Structure 1
Amino acid sequence: MGKEKTHINIVVIGHVDSGKSTTTGHLIYKCGGIDKRTIEKFEKEAAEMGKGSFKYAWVLDKLKAERERGITIDISLWKLETSKYYQWTRRQLELARSPSLPRKLRRLNEYHPQYLPPQS
Structure 2
Amino acid sequence: MPRQGLGQRGETAAASFLQRRGLHILARNYRWREGEIDIIAAEDPFRICGQAGTIRFIEVKTRSSDRYGTPGAAVTFGKQARIRRTALKWLQEQEHPVFGNLCFDVIEVCVLDGRARLRWLKDCFF
Could you state the TM-score of these two structures normalised by the residue count of structure 2? 0.29
Q: Which has the larger radius of gyration?
A: 1
Greater helix fraction, Structure 1 or Structure 2:
1
Could you state the TM-score of these two structures normalised by the residue count of structure 1? 0.30
| Greater relative contact order structure (CA < 8 Å, 6+ sep) | 1
